[in-house]
């Protein structure tokens, strides 16, 4: 059985960071009950493009869950949620800090009736600090953390990443925090509050540029696809497009020069050390790209791989998922939806040898499991009453 089998998760999240977190918990066996508001539910359900009547955005991060519709502003809805929380191991929410407390479902309130509950909050700036009350959106946080300042062409404007990297990082850190809290609960018997901020998550991966700033007092300039500290470690042009090479140490530099039949580059004082190659990067690129022009892209890949030089193509998204490695790693999975038919999506990158993930159920339609879950609550109440 997957390692989180037997754990119940109440999912009060929407859009991306929270749903991504709870999907990963569901993939590993947890019973994830996604609580949505009547009418629209998770707002990502309305975002194009659509597969049938379902949003492809919503479908991408909501498998292995059950959907329950509750109006938390009514006594009946609040009572049902309270019962769900009392029976849960984990609650994940991404409301603005303080919002759930106003409804009676903040950590302080629910921990009184379920002290074993692990309560994970995902927000833009965290539960404290002068910006805690502000909403959190990936693109805003990419700007606020300096990430955009480090991304883009040297002579261009700051650039955001092409995916919502801040949300995905926060979702990953949320899973990590939840698992750490579960480990502590095994010892203490008590849950705790896990506080995850998109701001912290994005800032945490800025270690290289921040390290340069702290060491030199000067922020590194944008270098596009170049590496600020290593050369050649970048995309380079060939006659058939771009190739990526990663020559990260002196041994690889020697192997690279041998692969492209330019051992003389090792004797060139401009390129003797990594620091020299950084200082003369433009000249080095010119020398390398002149050699690359003699080969097809595949010939270059073959040469570099024979000499064990890390390299790769700059692929389109379509090319990337069409490769045999994707199939070998089970990174595309197809689940059957009774309405939509086969729904294909990305698999899980976490491979466990003895208790692997089970990707068994497609993302639920809004309120699909409301009756089923409410019936479970009624049965639970009757059992408690008999005791």
What distance in Å separates the CA atoms of residue 59 and residue 226, rounded to the nearest whole number?
35
Nearest to 181, CA basis, from 21, 366, 48: 21
The structure tokens 């919502």 sit at 164
Q: Widest CA span of the chain, in angstroms?
A: 86
260 CB burial (10 A radius; 0-12, 13-18, 19+)? buried
Of the residues 11, 167, 226, 337, which is catalytic? 167
Catalytic site residue 167?
Answer: yes
What distance in Å separates the CA atoms of residue 361 and residue 301, rounded to the nearest whole number?
40
What are the Cα distances from residue 346, in Å, to 84, 183, 349? 30, 28, 9
Active-site residue numbers?
A: 167
């Amino acid at each position: 059985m997957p390692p989180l089998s037997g754990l119940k998760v109440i999912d009060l999240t929407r859009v991306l960071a929270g749903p991504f977190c709870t999907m990963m918990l569901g993939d590993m066996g947890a019973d994830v009950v996604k609580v949505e508001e009547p009418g629209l539910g998770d707002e990502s359900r309305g975002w194009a493009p659509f597969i049938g009547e379902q949003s492809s955005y919503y479908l991408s991060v909501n498998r292995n869950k059950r959907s329950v519709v509750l109006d938390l502003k009514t006594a009946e809805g609040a009572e049902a949620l309270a019962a769900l929380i009392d029976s849960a191991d984990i609650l994940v929410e991404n409301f603005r800090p303080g919002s759930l407390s106003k409804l009676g479902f903040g950590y302080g309130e629910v921990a009184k009736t379920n002290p074993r509950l692990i309560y994970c909050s995902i927000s833009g700036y965290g539960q404290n600090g002068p910006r805690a009350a502000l909403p959190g959106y990936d693109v805003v946080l990419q700007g606020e953390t300096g990430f955009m300042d480090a991304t883009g062409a040297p002579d261009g404007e700051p650039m955001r990443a092409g995916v919502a990297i801040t949300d995905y990082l926060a979702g990953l850190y949320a899973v990590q925090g939840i698992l750490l809290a579960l480990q502590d609960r095994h010892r203490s018997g008590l849950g705790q509050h896990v506080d995850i901020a998109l701001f912290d998550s994005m800032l945490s991966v800025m270690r290289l540029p921040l390290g340069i700033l702290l060491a030199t007092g000067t922020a590194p300039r944008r270098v596009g696809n170049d590496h600020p500290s290593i050369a050649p470690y970048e995309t380079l042009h060939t006659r058939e497009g771009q190739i990526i090479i990663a020559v990260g140490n002196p041994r690889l530099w020697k192997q690279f020069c041998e692969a492209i039949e330019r051992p003389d580059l090792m004797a060139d004082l401009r390129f003797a050390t990594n620091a020299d190659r950084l200082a003369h990067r433009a000249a080095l690129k010119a020398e390398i790209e002149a050699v690359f022009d003699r080969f097809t892209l595949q010939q270059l890949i073959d040469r570099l791989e024979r000499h064990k030089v890390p390299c790769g193509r700059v692929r389109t998204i379509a090319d990337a998922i069409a490769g045999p490695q994707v199939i070998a790693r089970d990174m595309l999975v197809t689940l059957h939806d009774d309405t939509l038919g086969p729904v294909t999506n990305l698999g899980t990158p976490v491979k466990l040898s003895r208790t692997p993930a089970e990707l068994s159920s497609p993302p639920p339609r809004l309120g699909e499991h409301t009756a089923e879950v409410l019936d479970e609550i009624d049965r639970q109440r009757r059992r408690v009453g008999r005791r």
